[in-house]
Amino acid sequence: MAKITFVTSDDIKTTVEATTGNIMELAVQNKIKGIDGNCGGVCSCATCHVHVQPEDWNKIEEPTELEKDMLEFDENVSEYSRLSCQIKVSDAIDGIVLKVAN
Ligand code: FES
């Protein structure tokens, strides 16, 4: 079980709990504003872009080359950008805070 906190662009914080799936799916299920997941999680739309808090960066696996390439073309990219469909829910990410980029 992991607790995941989303912070939207209008600074609304929502904390949800999950055990499986990926972060984008979790955000869409919980109607987190700014995470649309238009491609269904196949890393081809970047509508699931989030910024990971620096202190949480090492909790998640490294992005793949495909994910890095997708992020290159998105707006508002930072060194802590990730596509949330590529982050799996697991105990390892318990307590993570993600700022919605869009
Ligand atoms: Fe499309 Fe993540 S949902 S890239």
45 lines ligand 1 (CB under 6 A): yes
Which protein residue has the closest C-alpha to ligand 1 atom 4?
A: 43
**Rounded CA gap, 39 and 78, in Å?**
22
pLDDT in tens, 30-83: 999 999 999 999 999 999 999 999 999 999 999 999 999 999 989 899 999 999
Minimum-distance ligand 1 atom for the alpha carbon of 36: 3
Helix (H) or strand (E) holding 51: strand 49-52
Using pLDDT thresholds of 50, 70 and 90, give the confidence band for residue 102: confident
pLDDT of residue 8: 98
Euclidean distance between CA atoms 36 and 59, whole angstroms = 24
The answer on pLDDT for 4 being more than 90 is: yes
- Whether 6 and 101 have beta carbons less than 8 Å apart is answered as no
Query: pLDDT at position 91, please?
Result: 96
Share of the chain above pLDDT 70, in %: 100
Is residue 101 lining ligand 1, measured as CB closer than 6 Å? no
What is the distance between the alpha carbons of residues 3 and 35, in angstroms, rounded to a whole number?
18
